[in-house]
């Protein structure tokens, strides 16, 4: 592609409304443009990377035996009423009426539609397993769309659905997809982790998230230093901690005037945060409950919610805290509390800790569970932290990373097939419900996550497999006929070799050309200049790392081809 005949509107200044690096750089590189909040145009360069990801996804889906189809964006309310999600989904589901007042929504996902197809067409166990996928535009009316493609409202997604005779067969389908996902993100050239995750509102029994590692990631994930264990922090299991060997000391009431937070209390008393216990008051489906976690730990509300089996869980407001504890916020403690108390496992072995006294400006020292209060239950209700022992192996400890979720696989069980009555006849002629799995990849998000992981102060550093072009050929001086002829020849040769070349034939200063090439992140660059050319050489620069070498003109194309082939064969 000739740069002069292409459309890459790069921008020098960082747009003021772009908070994260991928949003800033994709705007600056002319890859995307905002149309409305969370709704983006994919400009030519951005679309090329999107298509690269799509192609890899498609190849791996096909290889895994999934069959591509295309379902509509506009979906009738009836199907969503059958699954009960018409009521449950909330405002992210964009609903509207057509000219005949029939109710529809813009599909945020396609479980209902695909299950409808399957219940109509699948009659017998002989037709199973079946796996269907599509690459399609979805819409979710996010309350706070932001971060460019990272949290958009309209976005491109690959969604796959598996249908099996039973749970064991569904596990096999799930594993196939899991493996396909590993290959997809490997082939994209991304550094990622597959982690155990919570199933959330999609439902089902188990799930994994695929996380691209990046400091800016919205999600915290952990992995074991020794074994394969990895999980989202929401889901990661904490082991009980070792039991402290100390004699219980007498309970003491001490003054802590206006000291409420962990930081304030521990600083005032000169104790470590791990010697304090936080008493958090929450409301679970209308009932107050106290959650106890160590001062240096964070409550994991998802674990607590699962434990309580409640629909809604929120922090108690000030008046409720006052009513339940008899004290203002900041002085709650377990001793004397008459509501349900859930204590984190870490408290099982703690001795003589400090906690609120349920009296204004007072705390208790030397609190001991069993002697001073008895929790309703001990349970794993905290987020794991860096250094925690691995819940799977004895040897490793947990490391915490930041990650961006780009894929998610779910075992759905029979949630949707039950609701929509998707059944088949087994070999005995008995009617059975199909077991489902669903599997998503955010296509645009994968490109954005790639940028979050691969950039420097000059711009994007695309890995070759999903770069918009593999190589840029820059003619230093477009007015120099010899330079242009040599550059043209490289452009032609490389294109014939199957390398995707952006030929910067613009009549611009070299500085501008190099800045643009760096900004848009083309992995390989050949610079054709008069001086080097006179010696039969061109400059080859690798964007990642910035390595520059002079190579013989005659070898340049073959060198590039080799680098591209290597990168694509991973």
d(CA 457, CA 29): 13
Peptide bond into 129 cis (omega under 30): yes
Alpha helix (H) residue ranges in 294-421: 301-308, 318-325, 415-420
Q: DSSP letter string over 247-273? A: -----EEEE-TT--SHHHHHHHHT--G
- Kindly tell me the burial class for residue 490, based on how many C-beta atoms sit within 10 Å of its own C-beta (0-12, 13-18, 19 or more): buried
- Pick from 59, 65, 328, 378 the residue near a copy of itself by CB under 8 A: 65
> What is the nearest approach in angstroms of a copy of itself to the Cβ of residue 455?
23
Residue 336 touching a copy of itself (CB under 8 A): no
Both structure tokens of 95: 């609903």
By C-beta, is 102 or 512 nearer to a copy of itself? 102
Both structure tokens of 226: 């020794």
By C-beta, is 139 or 424 nearer to a copy of itself? 139
Q: Which residues are CB-neighbours of 532 under 8 A, at least 6 positions away?
A: 538, 539, 550
- Check if the beta carbon of residue 355 is closer than 8 Å to that of residue 279: yes
Q: Which secondary-structure segment (H or E) carries 527?
A: strand 524-528
Q: Which secondary-structure segment (H or E) carries 171?
A: helix 167-187
Residue 40 touching a copy of itself (CB under 8 A): yes
SS3 call for 477: coil
By C-beta, is 33 or 84 nearer to a copy of itself? 33
**DSSP conformational letter for 188:** T
Sign (positive or negative) of CA dihedral 259, 263, 266, 269 = negative
> What is the nearest approach in angstroms of a copy of itself to the Cβ of residue 544?
27
Residue 164 touching a copy of itself (CB under 8 A): no
d(CA 20, CA 18): 6
> What is the nearest approach in angstroms of a copy of itself to the Cβ of residue 114?
9
By C-beta, is 9 or 200 nearer to a copy of itself? 9
Residue 121 touching a copy of itself (CB under 8 A): yes
Residue 143 touching a copy of itself (CB under 8 A): yes
- Pick from 54, 154, 196, 452 the residue near a copy of itself by CB under 8 A: 154
Residue 35 touching a copy of itself (CB under 8 A): yes
Site for a copy of itself in 44-63 (CB under 8 A): 44, 47, 50
The CB density around residue 228, as the number of other CB atoms within 10 Å, is 11
By C-beta, is 137 or 376 nearer to a copy of itself? 137
Q: How far is CA 494 from CA 253, 394, 502, 503, in A?
A: 79, 53, 10, 10
By C-beta, is 92 or 285 nearer to a copy of itself? 92
Piece of 64-72, 170-178, 242-250, 534-542 that binds a copy of itself (CB under 8 A): 64-72
> What is the nearest approach in angstroms of a copy of itself to the Cβ of residue 200?
20
By C-beta, is 97 or 323 nearer to a copy of itself? 97
By C-beta, is 40 or 192 nearer to a copy of itself? 40
**DSSP conformational letter for 16:** T
Residue 496 touching a copy of itself (CB under 8 A): no
Q: Which residue has the tokens 């493996």?
A: 179
Phi, psi for residue 494 in degrees, rounded to 5: -60, -40
Q: Which residue has the tokens 């192996």?
A: 393
> What is the nearest approach in angstroms of a copy of itself to the Cβ of residue 141?
5
Q: Which residue has the tokens 């107050």?
A: 288
Site string for a copy of itself, 231-270 (x = CB under 8 A): ----------------------------------------
- Pick from 14, 17, 19, 69 the residue near a copy of itself by CB under 8 A: 69
d(CA 185, CA 442): 12
> What is the nearest approach in angstroms of a copy of itself to the Cβ of residue 557?
22
In 335-397, beta strands by DSSP E: 340-344, 353-356, 362-367, 377-379
Q: How far is CA 187 from CA 192, 235, 436, 466, 542, in A?
A: 11, 27, 27, 9, 19
By C-beta, is 143 or 258 nearer to a copy of itself? 143
Site for a copy of itself in 90-119 (CB under 8 A): 91-92, 94-96, 98-99, 102, 104, 106, 113, 116-117
Residue 556 touching a copy of itself (CB under 8 A): no
Residue 455 touching a copy of itself (CB under 8 A): no
Piece of 70-78, 198-206, 395-403, 467-475 that binds a copy of itself (CB under 8 A): 70-78
Residue 33 touching a copy of itself (CB under 8 A): yes
By C-beta, is 72 or 498 nearer to a copy of itself? 72
Q: Which residues of this protein are in contact with a copy of itself, per CB under 8 A?
A: 5-7, 9, 33, 35-36, 39-44, 47, 50, 65, 67-76, 91-92, 94-96, 98-99, 102, 104, 106, 113, 116-117, 120-121, 130, 132, 137, 139, 141, 143, 153-154
């Amino acid at each position: 592609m000739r740069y002069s005949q292409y459309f890459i509107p790069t921008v020098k200044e960082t747009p003021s409304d772009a908070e994260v690096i991928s949003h800033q750089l994709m705007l600056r590189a002319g890859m995307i443009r905002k149309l409305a909040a969370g709704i983006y145009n994919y400009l030519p360069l951005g679309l090329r990377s999107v298509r690269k990801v799509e192609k890899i996804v498609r190849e791996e889906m096909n290889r895994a035996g999934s069959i591509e189809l295309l379902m509509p964006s506009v979906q009738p309310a009836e199907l969503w009423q059958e699954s009960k999600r018409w009521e449950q989904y909330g405002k992210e589901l964009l609903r509207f009426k057509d000219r005949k007042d029939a109710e529809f929504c813009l599909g945020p996902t396609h479980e209902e539609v695909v299950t409808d197809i399957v219940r109509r067409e699948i009659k017998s166990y002989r037709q199973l397993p079946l796996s269907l996928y599509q690459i399609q535009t979805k819409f979710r009316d996010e309350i706070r769309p932001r971060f460019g493609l990272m949290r958009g409202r309209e976005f491109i997604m690959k969604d796959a659905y598996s249908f099996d005779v039973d749970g064991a067969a569904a596990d096999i389908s799930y594993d196939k997809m899991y493996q396909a996902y590993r290959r997809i993100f490997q082939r994209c050239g991304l550094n990622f982790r597959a982690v155990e995750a919570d199933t959330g509102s999609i439902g089902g029994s188990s799930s994994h998230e695929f996380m691209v590692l990046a400091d800016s990631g919205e999600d915290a994930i952990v992995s074991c230093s020794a074994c394969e264990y990895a999980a989202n922090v929401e889901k990661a299991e904490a082991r009980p901690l070792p039991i402290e060997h100390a004699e219980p000391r007498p309970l003491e009431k001490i003054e802590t005037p206006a000291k409420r937070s962990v930081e304030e209390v521990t600083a005032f008393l000169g104790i470590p945060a791990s010697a304090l216990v936080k008493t958090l008051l929450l409301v679970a489906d209308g009932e107050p409950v106290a959650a106890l976690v160590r001062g240096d730990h964070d409550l994991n509300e998802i674990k607590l919610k699962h434990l309580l089996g409640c629909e809604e869980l929120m922090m108690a407001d000030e008046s409720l805290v006052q009513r339940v504890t008899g004290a203002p916020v900041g002085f709650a403690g377990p001793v004397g509390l008459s509501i349900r108390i859930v204590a984190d496992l870490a408290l099982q072995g703690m001795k003589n800790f400090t906690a609120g006294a349920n009296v204004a400006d007072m705390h208790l020292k030397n609190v001991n569970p069993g002697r001073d209060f008895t929790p309703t239950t001990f349970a794993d209700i905290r987020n794991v932290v860096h250094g925690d022992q691995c819940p799977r192996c004895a040897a490793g400890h947990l490391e915490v990373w930041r990650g961006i979720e780009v894929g998610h696989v779910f075992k759905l069980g029979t949630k949707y097939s039950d609701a929509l009555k998707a059944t088949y006849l087994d070999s005995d002629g008995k009617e059975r419900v199909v077991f489902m799995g669903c599997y998503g990849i955010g296509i645009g998000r994968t490109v954005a996550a790639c940028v979050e992981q691969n950039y420097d102060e000059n711009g994007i550093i695309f890995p070759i497999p999903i770069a918009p072009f593999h190589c840029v050929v820059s003619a230093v001086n477009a007015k120099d006929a010899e330079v242009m002829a040599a550059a043209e020849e490289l452009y032609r040769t490389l294109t014939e070799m199957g390398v995707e070349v952006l030929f910067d034939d613009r009549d611009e200063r070299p500085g501008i050309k190099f800045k643009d090439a760096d900004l848009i992140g083309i992995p390989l660059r050949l610079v054709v200049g008069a001086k080097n050319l006179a010696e039969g050489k061109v400059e080859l620069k690798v964007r990642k790392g910035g390595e520059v070498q002079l190579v013989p003109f005659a070898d340049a194309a073959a060198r590039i081809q080799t680098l591209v082939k290597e990168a694509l064969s991973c």
